A and B are shown apart, each in its own frame.
Chain A
Amino acid sequence: MIQQLVMYEEELQQINRICEVLHRDSNARAVLVIDKNGQAIASAGDVQELDVTSLSSLTAGNVAATGGIASLLAEKEFAGQFLEGEKTNYHISIVGQRVILVVLFDERSSLGLVRLRVRKAGQELTLTIEVMVKKSAAGSGQPSVFSEITDDDIDNLFND
């Protein structure tokens, strides 16, 4: 079975900080970190106007489809993608083989600057993700609240 991903406070703070630094240093409109399965993990910048849930799912779908193309061409993966719009550009990169780092930017930034900053942020993010994956596997020693879930708890969710 594929391993469950668990996010704890410490790693989330680190990921948020990496996103905020990347957002500032690349003059980006927004930065998103997305699980490869399409779940939004963290964001920074001007995200109030964005539908982050939908963007996460579609970006993960896009990355999955691109990964499918890569394997058909006997490539390990296409690590990055750049979607160029009239006003907004969308830079996608895969980090630590596990998460997707997205930078949305406009004319206030440039592809060169974004690539440069993404490289540095990607390295830091990889280290944090590695810790997160290890902690997920080990359970981090914290007692799990889920083992205490009762049938009534589950049934109560569905009481209309």
Chain B
Amino acid sequence: MYTKKAIAKDWRRNWKLYLLMLPVFAFYIIFCYKPMYGIIIAFKDFQPGLGIMQSPWIGFENFIEFFTGNYFTRTLSNTLIISISNLVFGFPAPIILALLINEVVHKSFAKTVQTITYMPHFVSLVVVCGLIRTFVAEDGIINYIITFFGGEASNLLQKPEAFVPIYIISGIWQEIGWGSIIYLAALAGVDQELYEAASIDGAGRLRQTWSITLPSILPTIITLFILRLGQMMNIGFEKIILLYSPMTYETADVISSYTYRVGLQEFRYGYSTAVGLFNSVINFVLIFIANTISRKVNDTSLW
């Protein structure tokens, strides 16, 4: 199959394409694969003065410490809770928005809504967290609404039970518009004749959405869903760190924020790498499961 001759021929014909691919290839080698060698410090008692190679091996000690430590169950379950809620509530939101925008008759109104909803995506995360802090503060707008309806004002960021909702809702607010763009593009490609045929058959708006629009954009939804699964455990620790406090560690402290605290603030790189590696392993397992299910159920999969 791959004889020398064939390869040489292919090279002669396509060498420009290979050249084009080179930067991408280099990017992955330099920024994704080369740093992986650093993972070995998860199995070492890493001492910066000795360097990665010369630090002594300690086997699985770092892992054992994490698994038997006080924070294992808590960070793991928080990570799972936050990422699953993020998926369950965060994923459908842009689809719903896109469907709604699609139904709007006034094109200028639709465009305005679209612009307004995707603006927050471009605001820096630090600023967004500053806004959230102000909104949920004791004298902030959210509490104003709560007291208006007879509730009691309190600093919501100090309440462990309020952390996950704040995290998820603000995430939806920030990404809903941006996320809907791709669905709107898919919606634009749906054959208009299908709608005409359906309305002649007496299908109402809801029925049309359910039976025509959704099936038409289903491949897009599934592809994005799998891609999203791949990032499930990669909870942005920046946002967590900007919002949490010892008051809310109970529900807010996830594996990545714990890694950050232990690694960069307490200077235990080896241990912190072990924890991070564990996070990646779970992440990999999740993608693998999701991908397998997806392939079995509807023939769409990443590999």
A and B pair up: no
